Amino acid sequence: MPKGQPETVPDDGLTTRQRRNRPLVFVHTGPGKGKSTAAFGLALRAWNQGWPVGVFQFVKSAKWKVGEERALTVLGASGEGGPVVWHKMGEGWSWVQRDSQLSNEEAAREGWEQVKRDLAAETHKLYVLDEFAYPLHWGWVDTDEVIEVLRDRPGTQHVVITGRNAPEKLIGFADLVTEMTKIKHPMDTGQKGQRGIEW
């Protein structure tokens, strides 16, 4: 794809502009580092375009101080780009009563139900479903349903899903799939994660 030009153009009846503005589903999977980081880089581009961004973190604890969360939340509130809304499963989700004690499986399902509601309402232009591949892999959320909802979503909403072990059906459905492959990592030699690199 030199200079961003496709090697082939399908005979699908769409104009170049229609094809260019088609909503996309991205999957970042594999055992290597950088799946979420790549998705948050995409969120920065979306923010810069003035797009509303919704981030749903399905596995990471609410106690973790994620650097991208702070940066994107501050940018979203700046009024210069698009708004950014950030939800973490570890907090019990922002729309669920705090006193309810949901299991991780129930919380993942509730998060997916909110994503479905937001997609139906066209709330965001970009959705980052961070670590969502895990609830799919574990069978907490039905992959066939996810594919059906994403296929039928209205408008031009883009969705990026991260996490190891993304189901093959999702990989087959997605428009762009990147597999992060670990070649070498400092943790292989006993070094723990460090501030500014892992969080």
Q: Report d(CA 106, CA 122) in Å as an integer.
A: 24
Q: Does residue 12 lie in a domain region?
A: no
CATH number of the domain at 84, please.
3.40.50.300
Domain assignment of residue 95, yes or no: yes
Backbone phi and psi for residue 84, each to the nearest 5 degrees, phi listed first: -125, 125
164 within domain boundaries: no
Which domain range does residue 70 map to?
40-156
Give 138's Cβ-side CA count (13 Å radius).
Answer: 15
State pLDDT tens for residues 82-130. Answer: 999 999 886 555 445 444 556 888 889 999 999 999 999 999 999 999 9
Spell out the alpha helix ranges (H) of the chain.
16-20, 35-48, 67-77, 104-121, 133-137, 143-151, 168-173
The number of distinct structural domains making up the chain is 1
What pTM value is reported for the model? 0.88
Mean per-residue pLDDT of the chain: 87
DSSP 8-state code for residue 151: H
Tally Cβ neighbours within 10 Å of residue 99.
6
Residue 73, domain member (yes or no): yes
Residue 108 lies in a domain: yes
Q: Is position 5 within any domain?
A: no
In 3D, which of 137, 140, 129, 84 has the Cα closest to residue 107?
A: 140
For residue 177, being part of any structural domain is answered with: no
Q: Quick check: is 170 in a domain?
A: no
